[in-house]
Amino acid sequence: MSTPDLNLLVTLDVLLSEGSVVRAAGRLQLSASAMSRALARLRKATGDPLLVRAGRGLVPTPRAEALRDRVRQVVGDAEAVLRPALALDLGSLSRTFRIRSSEGFAETFGPRLIARAANEAPGARLWFVPKQDKDSASLREGAVDLETGVTSPSMGPEIHTAGLFQDRFVGVVARKHPLAKGRITPEAYASARHVLVSRRGLEMGPVDQALERRGLSRNGVATVGGFAAAIALARDCGLVATVPDVHTRSLRVDLHGFPLPVPVPGFRISLFWHPRMDADPAHRWLRGLVQEVCREESRPKATTKRPARG
């Protein structure tokens, strides 16, 4: 059995990325005829057309679609192996890091992260990318450097993970709201007017499931797609918002927070990255920075007690 030409993997990765022989040739600094010959060799090696004409362009075959992510990962891993391990000079580092996170992360942890990064690596820039779903494709494709959130089955098995902090749901109301005073029963909490948060159109969450076991349900009068909007409505419309405690701490400094009157499981927020970035010195520095800042900022805030009168 002949040894396969591994150089073809790079060619295939670029062809599937560009979807054009001409653009792929330009990216690899080859002539169009040389790229056409490489495509012919790829077709022979895989036993599949890979790219077929549709109108004036080319579209991938189902086999090509199935190979796309695997080829990209193999090429990325190979590049990481061959990349020299240079000593990191944070003072001369000039790089933009993209962090994909859920709503509230940038508001709560961003100020400290930006300040620390500016102090240690003045040329580093942080770009906080909104997280609309739990798909890890952006990590695999290199569109983002890091991601934060709760581990889910939809995340690829190759993704690396590190814990950041433990969080829990709390209730939030304006300081003049009736629930801001006295003991809160499950019945009082459920019957109050709530703003619900649903990113994916789900009706029931862990809070609703805990109430349902007691024969109760929240009196939802409005639904929004994020926690910041829910907190804003709690502040201005006299509604109850149920939000993650640590994740939204900086968004609700002027509101009254309270523990939920029913037991609801907490959840762990983690940091995710693709293994191809594991050995990158600048990426490793950023991962450590995020972990340190989250560990410090997620600690319970100390409260100052008034001295007793003698």
CATH of the domain at 108: 3.40.190.10
Can you give the residue range of the structural domain that contains 223? 169-265
DSSP string of 164-180, one letter each residue: EEEE-EEEEE-TTSGGG
Residue 147 host element (H or E): strand 146-149
Per-residue confidence band for 75, with pLDDT thresholds at 50, 70 and 90: confident
Whether pLDDT at 92 is above 50: yes
Looking at the 3D structure of the chain, how many domains does it have?
3
- Please give the single-letter amino acid code of residue 46: T
**Does any domain span residue 302?**
no
Q: Does any domain span residue 309?
A: no
DSSP lists the bridge partners of residue 149 as: 270
**Rounded to whole angstroms, how far apart are CA atoms 9 and 75?**
7
Mean pLDDT of the chain: 87
Cβ atoms of 14 and 24 within 8 Å: the answer is yes
Residue 310 lies in a domain: no
**43 and 176 belong to one structural domain:** no
Higher pLDDT, 88 or 245: 245
Domain at 30, CATH number: 1.10.10.10
User: Could you say which of 58, 82, 106 is where a domain stops?
Assistant: 82
With beta carbons less than 8 A apart as the criterion, state whether 164 and 271 touch.
Answer: yes
- Contact present, 64 and 39 (Cβ < 8 Å): no
70 and 115 share one domain: no
Indicate whether 111 and 123 sit together in one domain: yes
Q: Are 174 and 180 in contact (CB under 8 A)?
A: yes
- What is the percent of the chain with per-residue pLDDT over 90, rounded to a whole number? 49
Instruction: Give the Cα separation of 145 and 278 in Å (integer).
Output: 11
Which pLDDT does position 303 carry in this prediction? 44
DSSP states along 176-221? TSGGGSS---HHHHHHSEEEEE-SS--S--HHHHHHHTTT---EEE
Is the predicted pLDDT of residue 293 greater than 50, yes or no? yes
Same domain, 157 and 102: yes
Q: How far apart are CA 45 and CA 156, in angstroms?
A: 28
pTM metric for this prediction: 0.65
One domain, residues 174 and 261: yes
- Report d(CA 11, CA 13) in Å as an integer: 5
Cβ-Cβ contacts under 8 Å for 40 (sequence gap 6 or more):
none
Q: Same structural domain for residues 201 and 159?
A: no
pLDDT in tens, 275-284: 889 888 999 9
Strand partners of residue 170: 243, 259
